[in-house]
Structure 1
Amino acid sequence: MARGLAGNPAAPLDVLLRLLDDHAEAVPAAIRRRADLPPAVVAAALRHPLARVRGALAANPHIDPALRLGLLDDPERRVVELVRADPDVALPDRAFVPSLDRLVEQFRRGILTPAELRGEVIELAWRDRRAVRVVATHPEPLVRAAAVGLLGGLDEAARDELRQVLLHDDVPEVRAATAHFHAERERVREPADLPVNGYAYRGLLSELRLSPALIEYVLAAEDGREGVEAMATNPTLPPEVVEALFDHPSPDVRRSLAERDDLTGAQLARLAADPDASVRTAVSVHPALTEEERAAIDIDVTTAPWDRRIDLCWHVRGTVSRDPLPPLAASVRLATSVNPLLRRRAALDPRLPAGTVTALSDDADPGVRALLAHHHPAAPPELLLRVLRGYEYRRCDRGRLPALPNFPTAALARYADDQDPAVRRLVARDPWADPALVDRLTRDPDAAVRRAMAACPRLPVDRIVDLLDDVELAESAARNPALPVDVMRERLASSAPWQGKR
C-alpha cells in the first residue's frame, strides 16, 4: 500500500514526507516517474540515506537538471550512473572522471592489466559517446591511448577530430598508438588476420582492405556464408568480385549488396528484379533510385529486418548513445516517398511540420502510423487511439501510448467490453465513465484491467477503501487520487515502519 500512496498525485506533503521517513523502500518507483514532486520532497530525497531514493531522483527527467547534476558527487556509484543514463542532460566532464579515475586506480593496484584497462575505458565510452572527449584528455596516458580504440566506431568527422587530438598528445606512446591505428586501418588483411568469428570477424570483412588471398579464402569456405555476407558491403571490394556476388545463391548475400553506395544502375535493376522478396525490399530504399523506380519494385515490408534505429521505440537499455536526426528537409522528403520503409524513417523525426504529420497519420502503412504515434509530440489523439487499438505494427510496444499527453480521454467507456484487455483498460481514463461500470471492471478477468480500475478516480470511494484490504489491488487503490486524505493518514499511521537496510 505504501508504494501506491507514494504514487498518488493527491497525497499531501505530510504523507509523502512520512513515506520517505518510515517507508523509504516504497517510494523510489514513484519518485522516478512523478513530475509533480513538491520541493520539500525533492529536498528530502536529495539528502536521504537510502541510495535507491537518491537514485530515483537522479533518474527523474522532470527534476531540475541542476539538482540532478549535483548528484554526480554522490558517494554511491549507481546514483551517479543514473544521472549519466539520461542522454538529454548536458553533462560536465566530471560526470565521467570518477569512473575513469577508479579504473586507473585498479590498474595501479594490479587489479587490471593494461589490456583490461583499455577494454574497460573503451566500453565506458561506447555506452556514452559524451565520454569520448573526456577519455581523450584524461591525465593518465594509458586512458588517452585507449581512446585510439574508439576511432573505428566514430563517423568520419568525429574520427578526424579525435585523431588530431591524439596525434598532438604530449606523450609519444599516445601519438605512436594513434599513428599505428591509422596504419592498421590501411593495411591489407591476409587470411592469417581473420578472427575466428563474431563482431571482429564481420567488422574486418566489411570495413578493412582485403587481399585477393583473403577474398578467395572467404569465398571458398564451406561454411562461409556469413563471411561473404559481411564482405559484400565492403567498400574496398574489387568491382569484379562485387559483380560476381550478384549470382551468389544466398539471398542474404545479395541483400547485403543492396547496402552498397557504389551500385550501378544495372546492378540496382538486377537487385530490384531479384527472385527473393527480401532482396527486392532491401534495395528499394537505395538512395540512388528515383521514386518511379521504387514504385516499380515489388516489395514485402514484412521481410525488412528489425532495425534498432527504427523499431526501438524507447531507449536502448545500458546505452545512452543516440543516432543523430537527419536534416529536417530530408525527413520531409522521405515522408512523401512511395516506399513505406522510407516513410517509416521520416516518421521517426519529432520535428516534422503539421502538414506532414497529418499526411502520415492516415498513411496506408501501419508501421508509419505506429512510429509517428510513438515519436511525434503532436501525433493526433485519434491516431494514438487507432494505433493502440489496431496494434498492427508489433515491433513497437503500445504500452506507453496512453501516457502520452495527446492520448484521448473522451468516450473511452465504450470499450468496456472490448476483447482486448489493453483497450478495456482505457475506460479508466474516461472522465465521464459511469462509476458502476468502473466498479464492474474491478472484477474483470484481466489483472491489468482490475488494477487500472482500482486506481480510477471514478470508482466509488467506499469501493476504493475496501480494495485497500485486497492483496492484489491494494497498491492500485492506494494510488487512486479519490482516496480520502484522512484514510491515507490512518492507514499510514497503522502500518509498521520499514526496517530494511539503508
Structure 2
Amino acid sequence: MTSLVHPQLSGLGRNPSAPRDVLVRLATHQAGRAGISRRERLEDAVVDALLTHGDRNTAERLHGDRISPEMRRRIAEHPDPAIRNAFSDFVRDAVDRRVQIGIDHLEEAYGRPRTMLAGAPSPSLRAAVARAWHDRPLAVQAELLADPDPQVRAAAAERRIPGVPPEWRERCLADPAVRTHVARYVPLTPEQFAELMGHDEEELRQAVAGNPHLSAEMVAHLLGIDDPHVRVAVARSRHVDAETRERLYALVEAERAAGSIEAEVALNWNPAEPDWLREDPLDERMTYLDCPCTTLRRVLASCHDLPEEAWRRLDNDPELAVRRVAARRPDAPPEVLERLVRAHGDVLHVRPLLVDHPNFPRAALRTFVDEPSPHVRHLALQDPELPLPRLQQLAAAAEPFLRCGVACHPAVTDALLERLLGDPDPQVVDAAAANAALRPTRMYRILTTAGL
C-alpha cells in the first residue's frame, strides 16, 4: 500500500533491488513495512525485523512460501497470541464473513488438508471450501451437495465446474437453496423447466433464461416474460429468428432510454453468452455479420476461421468491443492493430495487450507520445527503450498516471528519477522509489532523511 505521507519509504520497501540492510531499516517504520508487505519473498533477517517492530497487521502477511520454514516455526511459537495467530485469525474472520479466500490459505490457517476441511464441523468453513476448492473430486462434491446446511449446498452449486452430476439434478432443482444456481447451467427436461417456471421468483426466471441448454419450445415460452434480463437472454438464444431478436432488443433499449437501470444492467452485464455461435458451420456464422446484437458480432469476431471479407467488416464494426476482439486473431494485420490502438488505446486489464500482439508494429509505440489522448500516450511506455526526450515529455504531463508510468520505466535516468521522487502525487513518488534502477546510494539517502 502506498503511504500518502511517506511514499518514498513505501515504494522503497517494494523495490526489488533494495539490499537486505535497507529493508531491515525500513521495517522500523510503518510506511516501510507497508511497502515490504507487497514483496513476494522475504529473507529471515527482514522477517525478524518485521516481527520486532511490526504489529498484528504486519504478522498477517507473514505466511506461506513468502517466508522460510524457520520463520514460520518462530511465528507459531511466538509468545504474543496476536502475532502467533494473526494469519489464522484473518482467515477465520474471512470465513465467517463469507469472503472468498484461497484453498491453500484455508489449509494453512486451519492446519488440515482440504479433504478434511470439507467435512469440518463449521458450516461456514465447509462453504468456504466449496467456494475455494474448484477441482474437487465428484465424491466430495456429492457430500457438499448433500450437506445439511443450505449455505454449504449453495456454495457447492454456484459453479458449473465441478457442477452437478446427472443423478443429482432432480434433487438440486427441488432444493430452494441451490436451484437458482443449478438452473443456470444443467440441461433441463420439459417437466423440470415447467416446474421451475411455476415459481414466482424473478432471479430464478432470469437464471433459467440464461441456461445454454434450453430447447426451442422452452425459449418460446420465455418470449412473453416482461423482464429485461430474460428478454436479453432470449435474444441471445440460437432458437430465435432475426426479427424476434431485433424486437426483443428494441424493447429493452426503449426501457433503457426511459431510465430503467435494470435494462441498462441487462444490456451490459447479462452473463448469458451466445457461445453456441462458435460451434455453428461457417456459412451460418457469416449470417451474423449484420446482426444488430453487438454480443453476437463480438462472439463471431472471436472465431479465427473467418474469410477475409468478414475480417474487413469486423475491423470496421461500429462497436469498439467487436473491433478489439477481431484484432486479437493471430493474423491481424499490423495496420489494423496500430490504427485501433492509436485511436482508442488498449484495455490494460485484458492480457495480452494488443500492443503485445506479435504483429503489432512496436516501432510505432514511441510515436504515441504525441497523441492527444493521455491513455494512448501512456502506451508509449510499453517501449522499454523509449528515448529520454520522450520520457521527459511524459514526465511533464499533467496526468499523474503518465508520470507514474515514467517512474516505473526501466530506461528512466537518475536525474529523472530524482525529479519524480519529489512529485506532488504520492503514487508517482512511490513508483519512483520502487524502480529497480534506483541506486543504493539514493536509497540510503532516503533512509537518512527519514531518520532511519
- Same-fold status (TM-score > 0.5): yes
**Aligned sequence identity (%):** 21
In the alignment, structure 1 residue 274 sits paired with structure 2 residue 244: yes
Residue in 1 aligned with 2:404? 451
Q: CA deviation at 1:302?
A: 2.9
- The residue number in structure 1 matching 2:439 is 484
Cα deviation per residue 1:27-60 (whole Å; 9 max; x = unaligned)? 55566366xx6xxx44445554256666667699
Instruction: Provide the TM-score with structure 1 as the length reference.
Output: 0.53
Alignment match, 1:316:
none
1:211-226 aligned at under 5 Å gives the runs 215=197
Aligned match of 1:77 in 64, 75, 88? 88
* 1:125 and 2:80 matched: no
Question: CA deviation digits over 1:235-277, x for unaligned, max 9?
Answer: 99998665454566777545544677xx8xxxx3x52342517
The residue type equivalent to 2:123 in the other structure is R
Q: Where does residue 493 of structure 1 map in the other structure? A: 448
Q: Retained in 1: the 8 A contact 2:345–2:375?
A: no
Which amino acid in the other structure matches residue 491 of structure 1? Answer: I
Find the counterpart in structure 1 of residue 261 from structure 2: none
User: Is 1:385–1:408's contact at 8 Å kept on the other side of the alignment?
Assistant: yes
Could you list the runs of 5+ residues in structure 2 that have no partner in the other structure? Answer: 1-7, 77-83, 251-271
SS of the equivalent of 1:22 reads coil
Q: Structure 1: which amino acid aligns with 2:429?
A: A
Secondary structure of 2:291's counterpart equals coil
Scaled by the length of structure 2, the TM-score of the pair is 0.58
Other-structure match for 2:10: 3
The answer on whether the counterparts of 1:384 and 1:401 sit within 8 Å (CA) in structure 2 is: no
* In the alignment, structure 1 residue 441 sits paired with structure 2 residue 431: no
Counterparts of 1:249 and 1:28, CA distance in 2: 52
The structural deviation recorded for 1:448 is: 1.4
* Aligned CA distance change for structure 1 residues 58 and 429 (closer, same or farther; 3 Å): farther
Is 1:420 aligned with 2:384? no
**For residue 287 of structure 2, what is the amino acid of its counterpart?**
A
Contact 1:388 1:401 in 2 (8 A): no
Deviation, structure 1 residue 18:
2.9
Change (3 A) 1:150 1:438: closer
| Deviation of the 1:468 alpha carbon | 3.4
1:284-312 CA distance string (max 9 Å, x none): 945774332232244135356xxxxxxxx
Q: 1:250 to 1:11 in 2, by over 3 A?
A: closer
Q: Is the 8 A contact 2:43 2:68 kept in 1?
A: no
Q: 1: CA distance between counterparts of 2:147 and 2:208? A: 33
Q: C-alpha distance in 1, partners of 2:212/2:16?
A: 57
Distance 1:130 1:72 in 2: 31
1 CA distance for matches of 2:415 and 2:210? 66
Partner of 2:292: 300
Aligned to 1:475: 430
Report the number of matched residues.
Answer: 392
**1:215 shift after superposition:** 4.8
CA apart distance, 1:157 = 6.8
Distance 1:102 1:373, change over 3 A: same
- Structure 2 matches for 1:6-155, cutoff 5 A? 6-19=13-26, 21-23=27-29, 25-29=31-35, 32=38, 41-44=42-45, 48-49=50-51, 50=54, 75=85, 76-77=87-88, 91=104, 94-95=107-108, 97-98=110-111, 117-118=122-123, 121-130=126-135, 152-153=157-158, 155=160
Q: Give the Cα–Cα distance (whole angstroms) in 2 for the partners of residues 29 and 42 of structure 1.
A: 15
CA contact (8 A) 1:442 1:449 kept: yes
Deviation, 1:492, is 1.0
Letter in 2 for 1:293: E
Aligned CA distance change for structure 1 residues 480 and 70 (closer, same or farther; 3 Å): same
What's the RMSD between the two structures over aligned residues? 6.2
Q: How does 1:379-418 map to 2 (within 5 A)?
A: 389-391=342-344, 397=349, 401=353, 412-418=365-371
- Asked if the contact 1:301/1:341 (under 8 Å) is kept, the reply is no
Task: State the SS of the aligned residue for 2:370.
Answer: coil
